[in-house]
Every structure is written in C-alpha cells, then in structure tokens.
Amino acid sequence: MSVGDASVSFRELTLGEFVDRLASAEPVPGGGSASAVAASLGAALVAMVAALSEGRPKYAAHAVTHARVGGDSRRLAVRFLDLADEDSSAYGGFAAAMKLPRDTDEERSTRTEAIRSAALIAAQVPLACVRACRDLVAATESLAGRSNANAASDLVVASLLCEAAARGAAANVRINLPSVGDAVISAALEVELDALLADIATLADLTRAVVALGESRDPLPEAKGA
C-alpha cells in the first residue's frame, strides 16, 4: 500500500504482512493505524469474554449484559479496523497537500487551505478512534465481575490495549492540530480529547481493580429489568 492508496485494506493482510509493512520505511501504516489495530484486538478480547460467559448458569443474571457487550464489542472490532485504513488515507491526503506547488501567491494560498483541510481530517480520524476506545473500555468495565472469572485476565489485557490505543490515537490528534490553522477548533478538540482520555483512564483502572479483587458484582440495571 503506497501513501494514500486505499485499494488494499489492512484487514486483507495477514498479521505478518501488516507487521512487515509497519516495520518498513513506508510512512503508512503508522502509529495511528497501529493504535486502531491494537484497539481492535482489545475489542475482540472483550467479545471473547462475553462469548465465554453466555449460556453459563453461574452468570445467568448477567445474560443481557453479555449479549449487549458481545454485539457491541464485535462491531467495535470492525470499526477499529476501518479506522486503521482511514488513518492511513488521512495521512495520504495530508502528504499530498504538502506536495502542492507554492511558487505563486495563488498556489501558496491553495496549498495552505489544502493543508488545513487535510490536517483537520488527519486529526478527526484518530479522535474518532479515541471516542470508540471510550465505548470499548466502558463495555470492558461492565463485564468485570459479571463474566466468566476464568477469562478475567483477558479483560485486564483488553483494558490495557484500549488505554494504550487511546493514548496513541490522541498523540496523532495533537500532532496535527497546529496545521489546522484554527485556534477555536483546535481548542475544542483538545478539550474533548482530555475529557475522553480521563474517562478512559478511570474505566480502565476500575476494570483492573475489580478483576484484582476477584469479587462478583451486582447485575446492571439493564439485566435487572430484563
């Protein structure tokens, strides 16, 4: 996949092929795509824990939660892989804008606007990844103490992957903000980003704390009302 080439989705590559491309001198895939793939792995782990809990009499009180989280996490796993492709495409757009001619005033103006537009997209894509990470870690936390105890460590791994992915995606948001050329938009994105990262850290910490205690939790309201 060359810069900006959307003809091949990363999901079509083997794991080894993706890692080889990540290790190459090519600019894509890069950290944004790697973060999204890490989050996809975390989502798959959450889906696995839900699947390992469904149909077990011991956890029957949480059946509604297992079904919801299982479906949500599988959808998120797909969404993160889409975001991995979108991140590389966004970088390609930014790289193309940077290469525009700038010999005349008109060309420089056109190039500046193209860079700003591409930078905003390049910031919005990883921000979408952080938002999805917030959804994933909320799902992870909801299973802690309410799912198959034999897979509790997988929830810990999922929370760690999700938190790392969110921080990695956030770094890609922030590195593009100076090129957006709009202080108001940049400030708003920073505020949202900080709030999302704080929520993610809180939920990830709670997930790990519940697992460490090894205690069962009461059903969520959704299960009680079933």
Token pair of 59, please? 């956890």
Q: How does pLDDT run across 139-191, given as a tens digit for each residue?
A: 999 999 999 999 999 999 999 999 999 999 999 999 999 999 999 999 999 99
pLDDT band with cut points at 50, 70 and 90 for residue 64: very high
The mean pLDDT of 52-68, rounded to a whole number, is 96
Average pLDDT over residues 89-103: 94
CB 165 within 8 A of CB 217: no
CA-to-CA separations, 56 to 44, 50, 65, 218, in angstroms, rounded: 20, 11, 13, 16
Query: Within a domain: residue 1?
Result: no
> Is 198 part of any domain?
yes
CA dist 143 and 46 (Å) reads 8
In a domain, 187, yes or no: yes
pTM of the model: 0.93
Query: In the structure, what pLDDT confidence band is assigned to residue 207 with cuts at 50, 70 and 90?
Result: very high
Among 5-9, 13-17, 124-128, 146-150, where is mean pLDDT lowest? 5-9
Instruction: Report which DSSP code applies to 144.
Output: T
Q: Which of 181, 223, 183 is nearest to 53 (CA)?
A: 223
Residue 5 lies in a domain: no
Distance, in Å, from the CA atom of 201 to the CA atom of 101, rounded to the nearest integer, reads 43
**pLDDT in the model for residue 102:** 92
Residue 27: the pLDDT is 87
Domain count, the chain: 1
Answer yes or no: is 210 within a domain. Answer: yes
Per-residue model confidence (pLDDT) at position 135: 98
Q: Is the pLDDT confidence value at 2 over 50? A: no
Note the pLDDT of residue 66: 97
Q: Answer yes or no: is 30 within a domain.
A: yes
Over 70: is that where the pLDDT of 4 sits? no
Length of the chain, please? 226
Mean pLDDT of 52-79: 97
CATH number for the domain spanning 198: value is 1.20.120.680
Per-residue pLDDT for 75 more than 50? yes
In a domain, 56, yes or no: yes
Range of the structural domain that residue 146 is part of: 10-224
The answer to the question of residue 167 being in a domain is yes
The yes-or-no verdict on residue 1 having pLDDT over 60 is: no
Residue 225 confidence class, pLDDT cut points 50, 70, 90: low
Residue 75, φ and ψ in degrees, nearest 5 = -65, -40
